[in-house]
Amino acid sequence: MSLGFTIEKRPFIEFTDSRSLTHEERHKLRVLSSVYAAAKIMELDDEVSKEAARIALSLYERWHSLKVTEVIAIVLAAAAEKGVAVTRESVERAYERLTMLSKGRLVTPTGYVFNEIKRKFLRVMMELNMKINKDDLIVSYVNILANAIGADDASRMPMIALARSIDRSRPAYSAAAAVEFFNYIMRLDRDSESLWKMLWPPVERKRFIIDGASVAVGAGDVEAPEPESRSVTVVCASCGARLFSVKHEPPSPVIFDISQIPFHVPAVCPHCGARLWDGNRLMIRSVKVLYKFRHNNEVMMIRASALMPMGSSIAIREIERPS
């Protein structure tokens, strides 16, 4: 049976007969058009857009109309199912664009709107029994945040390894906590609060505070030791020698952040002569990080530990390179 029109990807509508659309068909087209507009603003690929369109039509049948917040929630659900991360800014811009289309004026989303989108997102996921692809989502978040701090491709692998070891059930937080740690070691953009502000769902302040860290550098099998609170330790991955160790002594701020401690690694290990740098790249063998995490007004500790494949490295910004 002919629908009387066909819809292409973006949506391009071509009438194949002379009849006009029914009220119902016009509604569906408007929904699809909104879904594609939102997906495009969020820079989501065709796979996610098509999935979002499929979800939108199925929910339209059940709910009989879709609000702007629901359309955005549907697109976010499709992205989460495919393991694609979305930034808070993308959601804001999509909301502004859709309110422009439906109301004729741009409306800036408030905290209430964000909560509404989060609520609808959960409803979409539950109603259609959808699963979030958390493994891919962690990688996707790391890539977005690594782009934001200007990290090169090769440096992302240690970030992903650390993010996976933090808390797999919280892809956004884990990615931000891991990228923040390397942001500090790589001496890139020091403003880590801005990384946390990029996340969707919105996070007002960073959730994981780095409380201690230890790193094994160079090539070898010696793992970084267990990190102690408020300290940074660097060991040689070949011989285990302690290359650098500093503890932040009191008096210190209540909310302590390890990024206030300097981080220095010599060009070669003074004990065994192992090379620790490859040009401006610091060879990273393993990292262990102690995070403080606030949950229901309680401070909890999370230990994250990641062993990197041999040859992993991160690019340190030029001015910090040892002479």
Which residues of this protein are in contact with Zn ion, per CB under 5 A?
236, 238-239, 241, 269, 271-272, 274
* Torsion over CA: 312, 185, 201, 167 (sign): positive
Nearest distance from C-beta of residue 223 to Zn ion, angstroms: 14
Nearest distance from C-beta of residue 128 to Zn ion, angstroms: 55
Closest by CA position to 124, among listed 81, 168, 173: 81
Q: Which residue lies nearer to Zn ion by CB, 130 or 239?
A: 239
Closest by CA position to 85, among listed 76, 94, 93: 76
Q: What is the largest CA-CA distance in the chain?
A: 84
Which residue type sits at 164? R
Per residue in 7-29, is it b (16+ CB within 10 Å) or e — as a string?
beeeeeeeeeeeeeeeeeeeebe
Q: Which residue lies nearer to Zn ion by CB, 231 or 238?
A: 238
Closest by CA position to 231, among listed 281, 182, 288, 298: 288
Place of tokens 């969707």: 200
For 102, other C-beta atoms within 10 Å of its C-beta total 14
Nearest distance from C-beta of residue 118 to Zn ion, angstroms: 49
